[in-house]
Structure 1
Amino acid sequence: METKNKMDVTEDGNKLIIERIFDAPLELMFEVWSSCEHLKHWWGPKEWPMKECEMDFREGGQWHFCLRGPNEGDESWGLATYKEIEKPRKIVYQDNFSDAEGNINEEMPGMLVTVELFEHEGKTRYVGTTLFDTPETREKVVEMGVVEGMGSSMDRLDEYLDQTTAQ
């Protein structure tokens, strides 16, 4: 599959910044981040789609989800707690690895994620900034394949936006 938009990645100290332009209006881009109905179609790498999702999209609310891999038993649970929501431009959440019950895995690094959306020539520029405790923690998560995983998710989001805006 050919990607329509190049994803720019910057690693800076304890930050990982991912930017990409999407051919969708700002309001729709915000919407696809704010409900399981949308996220189930694009969140997670193609080989690790989201199968379970529960969300209370408000400041203080949580998003609990599971990505399932290609092999029996492959699963990765996450728990996000929303810190700040400014519709339609900004979502900030604390993201942690968890188990199926939502208990945070303290052995895995947590991260503070800021999703910012900007109007850009009739499209939307996405800027995702992930803040880690240390540069070493950032490097550990990058080595786990988070950049490739986000690239796959962003490609899936492009496809989903095409389907959504064509309706």
Structure 2
Amino acid sequence: MKKTLTFITCLFFLQSCGNEKIDTASAKAEMDAREIRIVSDAEIQEEAMKMGDQISSDFSLSAIPEPISDTYVLNIRYGTDSIYVKDHYFFDDPRDLSGKALDIFEAYLYNSEAGLVSEANVQKIEDGKVLLYTKPMIANDTTAVGMWTIEIPRKNVVLNIKQ
């Protein structure tokens, strides 16, 4: 009985060791993905700006003429990315803006009225857990008419940084 049990146990162990090799490349990639990263605020801001520029490159605003009423219908497109919270605000209708977003909106409005060029911007909101990417909304390739916003979680930005 003891020999049979030993034989079955050895057979079990031999059976469990197959000829399969462990995929070390994918295991290493998984370990690297789980590695703790130390990144500076400057790196986070820079990566958030790159991500925001990439996402907002698909944004578009176009005015379609309405022939019957002699008015225009605005066509606003956010692109195909649906991961992040995106919105738009027109200078004549800031809706429910508050905090830093309202301050940036007012700066874009002031620059538009003064004929100054506005640039994209990244600010920390919600105690730094979310980065707010803002960009002036341009119509007719020259006129600023509002502001685009994208809320990017800080975690996504850090995970996107390559080291």
**Superposition TM-score, scaled by structure 1 size:** 0.24
Tell me: higher relative CO, structure 1 or 2? Use CA pairs within 8 A at least 6 residues apart: 1
Larger radius of gyration: 2
From the two aligned structures, give the one with the greater helix fraction. Answer: 2
